[in-house]
Structure 1
């Protein structure tokens, strides 16, 4: 079987590795970076951690900091205008998934003729061209965007989260420094941690899984399983933060080379319509969606439970699968994941949007990778289960 495997050309991983950012750019002959980040990174001064090693290398980085949670096509267009008004040769995505995804989308959109809408590039389009290389520096342990060929951008006019996939979204390099996660709030650690667990689990049970993505997914689950609760409870636990950061990157490599599935397909419309953070909407859905597909890929789910550590090596598949469902429910309880109702989403608005959300979930293509492929009615039922 022929497998096409993609990954950044270089990844520098480890505490304190951010200091090597300037050298990394020079290694690729790059010297005129535009740093893409968010307003908090600038107002808190955190962006200086990224700018200092660039200046120390003799560079004069520009900064675009207008990114927003759940990045939008309008913000991407603003970023492209800044990019094209300057003399830049590389984009540096610095922050969580939103700045990294924005930088990727900027590179793709800037390669297209002026006036091309971002929606042109949503799947099944192959977004393989980027105007500039992208280097990613994650500050949260969750999205894995630093290692993937995907970006997710919201179409503001249609309230639709668009999955964009292709080599144009694949970073040239990534710098993964777990020390950057020390001050991340506990809520964000929980949401991004469950996001990375979802990436690994969905890649593992996906119909597009392969031997290489399995290797990444299994190792990611073995890192995330024992450390997610620890990093949530104790921000000083450096070993747990390091394990989660590496686990998130490996999970990104896993789903970039396999795929995500039904959880992500259903999660994106929740984010688009109700502005729920991506990792949190994944967490809201994960137990119900796992229960839905469990018996259609029981050996895979059972092995995932063993990797996570909630099932023993000798547990029969049915026992291990049941323990996985128990673990996912317990995680949501311990990490204080609200239901959509508890989050404040009204039942009338939720129910009124179910047909649209189901349609958008199916259109993303991700549900087709699930072990059990749902129709629109089944997706609406799952949304109802998650809501309650």
Structure 2
């Protein structure tokens, strides 16, 4: 655990039902005169959805805007290029991302290219950015990725099928909005996938080599909330109490991993998502029990604590037996919300595991994993997750 550390998050975070109404006011305070909304075509056309509500708030504040709706799941370099071209053609002076992780990551990518260079792939890594992004605000619509508050921009090179991450404090949005009313109509599968991504953020942060007392507190509370409310949010998307608490948990998880970093689950999930264009949260959820069971010997007391946070009783058990109950609890919540049992079900092919393992060990998330593995170890973890 680190005792000397910095702590990053947006300077202003609005949370709670109805906070989306404050977007126009904040855009004005940031001297935004013509902003580009970065979103996808589904959200753009959703009647009274988050994009329409964002537009209404901007109109009320007298802020001009254009809409870029070319965001794809696992946003691609082509999406970033298209967004940059529209931003420049329309002479915009700020960005507002509206959606889940894909919209936020794409918006960050657009901002990166606008101020730091046209080839975003050359900026992959940690603190490679030398210039600030254009003013950026993020309106979040899912409880999971927390990209609306983090320094990570995860993009996919569509030619190589590889995901890469640009990690920089300059990527952190200036203002974030988490309004659970925007999340009421999120489909069950997306609710489950993003919720499990948030749980993975908490777990990986909690066992990360770079954890600190602040991130521990955030991860612990996040795990407890997700254990209580994710199943309810999946079962009934209009359960406002469940949606609100999942939004809170996602925010806590984002603050935790933005500062404590992650581990092999995310490093490997990026390879699955890039190679097969699979949903990120599902990739993380399927890999998490396998990877964390392998990690267990590095920090069994932490996994025992996770068991307790998820409602398990560990009285009288050995440290390792208690830790195993933590892993079993992760498996159970994943199964309950409908996550597939193995990576084979999302299209994984063993012939790709060698290359995927090589790239996973290069991923920026790999370096804070609590147990250090070899290429052979990572291949074996992919194989184990393939069998389920």
TM over 0.5: yes
Cα separation, 2, equivalents of 1:118 and 1:63: 22
CA 1:13 to 1:154, structure 2 compared with 1: closer, same or farther past 3 Å? same
Is 1:341 the counterpart of 2:344? The answer is: yes
Q: Tell me, in whole angstroms, the C-alpha distance in 1 between the residues paired with 2:124 and 2:208.
A: 21
Q: 1:297 to 1:27 in 2, by over 3 A?
A: same
The worse-fitting range, judged by mean Cα deviation, of 213-222 and 147-156 is 213-222
Q: Is the 8 A contact 2:27 2:63 kept in 1?
A: no
State the secondary structure of the residue aligned to 1:131.
coil
Matches of 1:103 and 1:128 in 2, distance apart? 18
- Among 104, 108, 121, the residue aligned to 1:104: 108
Q: Secondary structure at the match of 1:146?
A: coil
CA change 1:322–1:148 in 2 (3 A) is same
1:159-214 deviation digits (Å, cap 9, x = unpaired): 11001100221111101101111000000000000000000110110001112211
| Cα displacement string for residues 223-261 of structure 1 (whole angstroms, at most 9, x for unaligned residues) | 111111111111121111100001101100100011011
Which consecutive aligned stretches of 4+ in structure 1 deviate over 6 angstroms post-superposition? none
1:157 positional shift: 2.1
Provide the aligned length of Structure 1 versus Structure 2: 382
- The gaps in structure 1 that reach 5 residues or longer are none
Alignment correspondent of 1:29: 31
Residues 1:155 and 2:150 aligned together: no
Deviation at 1:314, TM superposition (A): 8.3
Structure 2 residue 326 is matched with structure 1 residue 324: yes
Deviation at residue 86 of structure 1 after TM alignment? 1.9
- The superposition leaves residues 83-105 of structure 1 with CA deviations (integer Å, 9 ceiling, x where unpaired) of 11123222111001000111111
Structure 1 residue 290: deviation in Å?
A: 0.8
CA RMSD of aligned residues (A): 1.6
**What does residue range 47-126 of structure 1 map to in structure 2 within 5 Å?**
47-113=51-117, 116-126=118-128
Q: Normalising to structure 2: TM-score of the pair?
A: 0.95
| Aligned mates of 1:71, 1:14 — CA distance in 2 | 27
Instruction: Measure how far apart 1:21 and its partner are.
Output: 0.9
Distance 1:221 1:377, change over 3 A: same
Write the mapping of 1:164-243 to structure 2, written as runs, cut at 5 A. 164-243=166-245
User: CA-to-partner distance for each residue in 1:33-55, whole Å, 9 max, x for gaps?
Assistant: 21100011123232212211111
Q: Contact 2:304–2:314 (CA<8 Å) still a contact in 1?
A: no
Kindly indicate whether the alpha-carbon contact (under 8 Å) linking 1:190 and 1:232 is maintained by their aligned counterparts in 2. Answer: yes
Aligned to 2:373, what secondary structure does the other structure show? Answer: coil
* Other structure's SS at 1:61 match: strand
Corresponding position of 1:383: 382
- SS of the aligned residue for 2:64 comes to coil
Residue in 2 that maps onto 1:367: 366
8 A contact 2:34–2:65 mirrored in 1: yes
Q: Secondary structure in 2 aligned to 1:111?
A: helix
